[in-house]
Structure 1
Amino acid sequence: MKYILRKIVTVIVTLIVVSGITFFSFNVVPGDPALLILGTEATTQKIQNLRQELGLNQSLPERYINWIGNFIKGDMGKSIRFSQPVKDLIVTRIPVTFSLAVMSLILIIVISIPLGIYSAKKEGTVIDAVINIISQINMAIPSFFMGVILILVFGIILKLFTPGKYVDYNKNFIGFLLYLIPAAFSIALPKIATVIKFLRAAILQEMSKDYVRTAYSKGNKENMVLYRHILKNATITIITLMGMIIAEVLAGSIIVEQLFAIPGIGRLMIMSISTRDFPLTQALAICIAFFVVFINLLVDIFYQIVDPRIRVR
């Protein structure tokens, strides 16, 4: 319990630091939000009135305290570009990004784990070499370029979907999921290759240990030793890797959503940065940071569950 409480405190401190860095970074960037809202033809008086309304006439520490206080209460401010509450904009985009992330993770788990196990079992064979070569190629291709290839092959050549014609999940949920599949693959394929290599290496490392030879000496078959003993100990490496990958999936979706015209959190982030929509960008940065540190917290907790030998003082 003390370990979990200590981790929760670390999460809170991390979010406070991230919020401070995010707030002060965006507020020292040249550009007056009031001028962006009213336009260059606005009078000085109108600009001053709006600055006062937005609280821009206060000092940075005062603005930060007011902003973080309102944020904790659930008031994330008002978007400069969309003239809507930031909270409403984020809530409407979360299901899209969440669906894309979940679909990508399902693809990663379903494809990489069986292939990683199979590659380790077939070490030194042609099949193992082919899997390694394909994995190296996928690792070398960034998600955004993989997305371009998938759009070209499946969208333009095979015409399995229409690039740029996003299907709203409220209108056609099946069509929405089908549209996300190429985007999910573009995010998942490089991560699949990474998991395959790490899982294969972890399994081969465990195979050389004494407890494996002891298990074989007792007459256990290969599959029993692999699935009951080796994989259990190799899981620690995969948990660490999956924690990193989940955060990378969210980061990868920022570019992929823009590429596939998917109206999720990632695309909203790019639009908010390009238009200097400070309230929206700051809120999105905090939400993403919370997601990353929360995943890391879950990974640390899973360590204790999966391997009781691990004890953290």
Structure 2
Amino acid sequence: MLRYAAARLVSLCLSLIAASLVIFAVIEVIPGDPAAFMLGLNAEPDTVAALREELGLNGSLPARYLGWVGGMVRGDFGLSYTYRVPVAELVAQRLWVSLPLAALALALSTLIAVPVGVIAAARRGRAADYGIMGVAQLGIAVPNFWFAMLLVLVFAVKLHWFSAGGFPGWEAGVIPALKALSLPAVALALPQAAILARVTRSALIETLGQDYIRTARAKGLSARQAIRRHALRNALIPVLTIIGLQFSFLLAGAIIIENVFYLPGLGRLIFQGITQRDLVVVESVVMLLVFAVIVVTFLVDIAYAAADPRLRHRR
């Protein structure tokens, strides 16, 4: 187990290095001068040059890359060009919106998908199975931002049950904050629930075809008892893997939803950094999200190996 964990840790470090190189290279090839963009079209050349020097844009690319990576290792993400505050402070503020939103969406997705997937697998080939899988396919095909706008139109504009956007802050109370996150969480959760339901159904159908399930049925267990006592436990191993990966996606992939609902989260911070050419914010936040995705994937791999010892011995 330790050898497997060490190998996965080395892979994690290599992935982080590769991701940092790609992110830095992509940000650097974006056309336009950030200093000129911040000062406007009528700025004097010497003023632009002074701002470039202040922002550290005159250094060589290797020096700037090493300085950026070294700062992140020390916990220093740099100073935002636009907000003139440390990026770490911006991330800490926005994380209290994005993290609860991702957790709430993941909880809703799991609570919907697992029972639905089990019902579809238990009624394989019947009307219920076809209906559930048809709805799941529709949920995968429909863009989440279109669904988000539909939720706003129905529940905010027509019924006035929820606000159309914004976030009151946790200091306003847990209930108002969770109410503001409800529609965005549903918009994020339903497409992920459709994917997870299909995975649950496939894993459970494969498990139900194993010999030990047939043996359990031959000993007198009903189909429901065989699923609850034996099949579901083994079928949940790949399902848990997908759930871990979905949390990473929900944390890093809510940019459009946060903009639809005007939520001050990490996704909206990235969007604002791109539009304002705030390279330090974009580089640091994207790298932080990549780090979160890779770490969650690493933890899922370790948990998967702990549950299935055969993975530790595979080359």
Same fold (TM over 0.5): yes
User: What is the rounded CA distance, in whole Å, between the counterparts of 2:140 and 2:105 in structure 1?
Assistant: 16
**1:67-91 C-alpha deviation (Å, 9 max, x unpaired):** 2112211111111111111111011
**1:205-248 C-alpha deviation (Å, 9 max, x unpaired):** 22122111111222233333212321222123212322332232
Q: 1:230 — aligned with what?
A: 231
Q: 2:200 — aligned with what?
A: 199
Q: 2:12 — aligned with what?
A: 11
Q: 1:100 — aligned with what?
A: 101
Offset of 1:131 from its aligned partner?
A: 1.8
**1:5-49 C-alpha deviation (Å, 9 max, x unpaired):** 221121122111111211122122222222233333333222222
Asked if the contact 1:24–1:60 (Cα under 8 Å) also holds between the matched residues in 2, the reply is no
Q: 1:287 — aligned with what?
A: 288
**1:131-152 C-alpha deviation (Å, 9 max, x unpaired):** 2222222121111111011111
What is the RMSD computed on CA atoms of the aligned residues?
Answer: 1.6
Q: 1:39 — aligned with what?
A: 40
Asked if the contact 1:253–1:266 (Cα under 8 Å) also holds between the matched residues in 2, the reply is yes
Indicate how the Cα distance of structure 1 residues 252 and 154 shifts in structure 2: closer, same or farther if over 3 A, else same.
Answer: farther
User: What is the rounded CA distance, in whole Å, between the counterparts of 2:25 and 2:197 in structure 1?
Assistant: 41
Q: 1:270 — aligned with what?
A: 271
Asked if the contact 2:152–2:183 (Cα under 8 Å) also holds between the matched residues in 1, the reply is yes
Q: Which structure 1 residue ranges, 5 or more long, are not aligned?
A: none
Q: Which moved more, 1:289-298 or 1:118-127?
A: 118-127
User: What is the rounded CA distance, in whole Å, between the counterparts of 2:31 and 2:120 in structure 1?
Assistant: 53
Q: Which structure 2 residue ranges, 5 or more long, are not aligned?
A: none
Helix, strand or coil for the counterpart of 2:310? coil
Amino acid at match of 1:192: A
Asked if the contact 2:140–2:194 (Cα under 8 Å) also holds between the matched residues in 1, the reply is yes
Helix, strand or coil for the counterpart of 1:56? coil
Q: 1:129 — aligned with what?
A: 130
Amino acid at match of 1:154: F
Structure 1 length-normalised TM: 0.94
Q: 1:306 — aligned with what?
A: 307
Q: Identical aligned pairs, as a percentage?
A: 36
Helix, strand or coil for the counterpart of 1:309? helix
Asked if the contact 2:237–2:304 (Cα under 8 Å) also holds between the matched residues in 1, the reply is yes
* 1:144-159 map, 5 Å: 144-159=145-160
User: What is the rounded CA distance, in whole Å, between the counterparts of 1:227 and 1:305 in structure 2?
Assistant: 22
User: What is the rounded CA distance, in whole Å, between the counterparts of 1:239 and 1:270 in structure 2?
Assistant: 31
* 1:18-29 map, 5 Å: 18-29=19-30
**1:260-300 C-alpha deviation (Å, 9 max, x unpaired):** 11110001111111111100000011111001111110111
Amino acid at match of 2:262: A
Structure 2 length-normalised TM: 0.94
Runs (4+) of structure 1 exceeding 6 A deviation are: none
